[in-house]
Amino acid sequence: MVMEFRQLRYFIAVAEEGHITRAAERLDMQQPPLSRQIKAIEDELQVQLFHRRARGVELTDAGHTFLDEARAVLAGLRHAFDATQSRARGELGRITVGFMPSGPFHPFVPLAVRRFRESYPLVSVSIEERFSTEMLDRVRDEQLDVAFVRTSRVDPEHLVITPLLDESMVVAVPAGHELVRRKGEKALSMKQLAGEPFILFGPPGTGMYDATIAACGAAGFSPRIGQHVPGITSCFGLVAAGLGIALLPASMQRTLMEGVVYRNIRGPVIPTTRLSLAARRGDRSIVVRNFLKLVREAAKGFAPA
């Protein structure tokens, strides 16, 4: 005979109550069937688990050992049930999230990740920082699960790119530049920037590179590219050094650097850049689905300070 989990429950109840009748009442069953089950367990193990006393039963040494093991087996079974159900609900697992270089500077991105971690504390979250175009490739190739991106590129066959928030752009200008020396002028038009050297970062196809080209084109000119740098930190350094200006998301104004001044952009059409969330089309991971749902809902109610 193969012992069943219910028999372990019967044995534990008798051991804890020290009495067959009380254990039967606890288990909502009759005393004779419970006595037969205990006898069947002893017969299978070929050991005596209880001393029968006038006022109940008492565990033998072998019974004490079996009680410890039975409790451990049932605890392990409960853990297996709980872990399986938690994973099915997406409460266990892991997710790898990609950020574009400007992502951490936008208050929504760390907010969304923090809310996910608070809602699903047992899910392991890994972070990678890459350019948007590279992240889209990594999401498609299953090296990333989701990615916050700024890009106009779409991949309708493999990816779902969900728009989250549109953000105005500002211009970073070297301190002391004639564009910012005029007192009281807190905003510049795109036409005022037409003759300036632009510092671009990231390869073509990335959000800020394409957004800069598009903003200048909408204003009627092609930007004069002074420098093309690989990362956003280099961009700040070159602006501070007086080597050019740069269009940036408004959230980047949180980055204070000596020698860099920010100005809003005025005009009939204010250039914007879009923050989106990329994921694989048809991804079956419950963890990923939970992340997507939480981020989309958070974006609906997000109001930047």
Residue 66's pLDDT is 92
DSSP-assigned beta bridge partners for residue 52: 57
Confidence at 191, pLDDT banded by 50, 70, 90: very high
Q: Tell me, yes or no, if the pTM score tops 0.75.
A: no
269 and 293 share a domain? no
Same domain, 269 and 282: no
Mean pLDDT along residues 104-124? 91
- Taking 70 as the threshold, does the pLDDT of residue 304 lie above it? no
183 and 225 together in one domain: yes
Nearest-angstrom CA–CA distance, 115 and 301? 13
Domain assignment present for 249: yes
Q: Tell which of 60, 88, 116 closes a domain.
A: 88
Of 88, 106, 136, which one is at a domain's C-terminal end? 88
pLDDT tens digits for range 44-91: 999 999 998 888 899 999 999 999 999 998 888 888 777 777 676 676
The answer to whether the beta carbons of residues 97 and 130 sit under 8 Å apart is no
Specify if 175 maps to a domain: yes
Token match 């958070």: residue?
A: 298
159 and 182 assigned to the same domain: no
Residues 268 and 280 in one domain: no
**What CATH number is associated with residue 218?**
3.40.190.10
Q: Is residue 213 part of a domain?
A: yes
Do residues 181 and 232 share a domain?
yes
- Condensed to tens digits (0 to 9), the pLDDT of residues 200-214 reads 887 777 778 888 998
Domain count, the chain: 3
pLDDT over 60 at 1, yes or no:
no
SS3 letters for 81-116?
Answer: HHHHHHHHCCCCEEEEEEECCCHHHCCHHHHHHHHH
Residue 305 belongs to some domain of the structure: no
Average pLDDT value over all residues in the chain: 87
What is residue 245's DSSP assignment?
A: B
What span, in angstroms and rounded, lies between the C-alpha atoms of 217 and 109?
29
Domain interval for residue 156: 93-164+274-300
pLDDT tens profile 240-281: 999 999 999 988 888 888 999 999 999 887 888 889 999 999
pLDDT of residue 197: 95
Res 233 pLDDT > 90: no
Residues 279 and 160 both lie in one domain: yes
- Supply the CATH number for residue 23's domain: 1.10.10.10
